[in-house]
């Protein structure tokens, strides 16, 4: 597992609260997901200037297949539209886009759009945007252990969850072993660049010791 340097920040976000945000306003859940896509654009635009090098967004969990088929289909269409609409913008802004998670259960059109976006943005160096689609951390850990690639999984520095829930929901469990956790009641459609800046400010106020003692080099801490 790779520990991040102080100049490299990996932020992971569980984008929760879309449906509840919509229902609270008397609108269908699908309206919340569309508003959530707009929030993604805002945060992706803000992340590089806030010092974020990698941004991993939990878009669709392996457990989300349990939702009603109509909602799942709307989400898949939203992913397809996002990939097709945002690829050119990502290229223009130097954003490298990649998708983690299973692809064998996704519609072929979505898989093709993912592959096209990944190829087109492969040389982006401003931000690495990773979308977790049909993703389960337990499955990812099992697969990486079998392949002997656990050490290549990049540590998360800050894990944010919106929407008021306080749990990890099978998201980046291995990579978040030493992550700072930040939970906010703000629903994802209301999350903005300023919200991300606030979360990062809280992250930078915290003291990360990785099991050591504050103010001591590793050897001195081990001897104490």
Burial of 114 per CB tally in 10 Å (0-12, 13-18, 19+): buried
- The question of whether 104 is a catalytic residue gets the answer no
- The question of whether 16 is a catalytic residue gets the answer yes
Q: Are 39 and 191 in contact (CB under 8 A)?
A: yes
Radius of gyration over every alpha carbon of the chain, rounded to an integer in angstroms = 18
Phi-psi region of 168 (alpha: psi -120 to 50; beta: other; left: phi over 0): alpha
Place of tokens 């090098």: 53
The residues near 143 (Cβ < 8 Å, ≥ 6 apart) are: none
Catalytic, out of 18, 63, 64, 170: 64
Catalytic, out of 16, 134, 155, 157: 16
- Which residues are known catalytic residues? 16, 64
């Amino acid at each position: 597992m790779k520990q991040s340097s102080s100049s490299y920040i990996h932020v992971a976000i569980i984008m929760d609260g879309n449906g509840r945000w919509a229902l609270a306003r008397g609108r269908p859940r699908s309206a919340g997901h569309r508003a959530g896509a707009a929030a993604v654009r805002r945060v992706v635009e803000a992340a590089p200037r806030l010092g974020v090098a990698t941004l991993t967004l939990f878009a669709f969990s392996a457990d989300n297949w349990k939702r009603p088929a109509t909602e799942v289909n709307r989400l898949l269409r939203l992913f397809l539209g996002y990939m097709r609409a945002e690829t050119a913008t990502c290229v223009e802004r130097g954003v490298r886009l990649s998708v983690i998670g299973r692809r064998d259960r996704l519609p072929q059109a979505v898989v093709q759009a993912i592959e096209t976006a990944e190829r087109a943005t492969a040389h982006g160096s401003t931000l690495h945007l990773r979308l977790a689609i049909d993703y389960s951390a337990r499955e990812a850990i099992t697969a990486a252990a079998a392949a002997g690639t656990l050490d290549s999984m990049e540590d998360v520095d800050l894990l944010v969850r919106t929407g008021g829930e306080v749990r990890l929901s099978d998201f980046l469990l291995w990579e978040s072993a030493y992550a700072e956790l930040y939970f906010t009641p703000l629903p994802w459609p209301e999350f903005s660049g300023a919200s991300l800046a606030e979360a990062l400010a809280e992250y930078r106020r915290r003291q990360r010791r990785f099991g050591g003692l504050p103010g001591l080099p590793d050897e001195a801490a081990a001897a104490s």
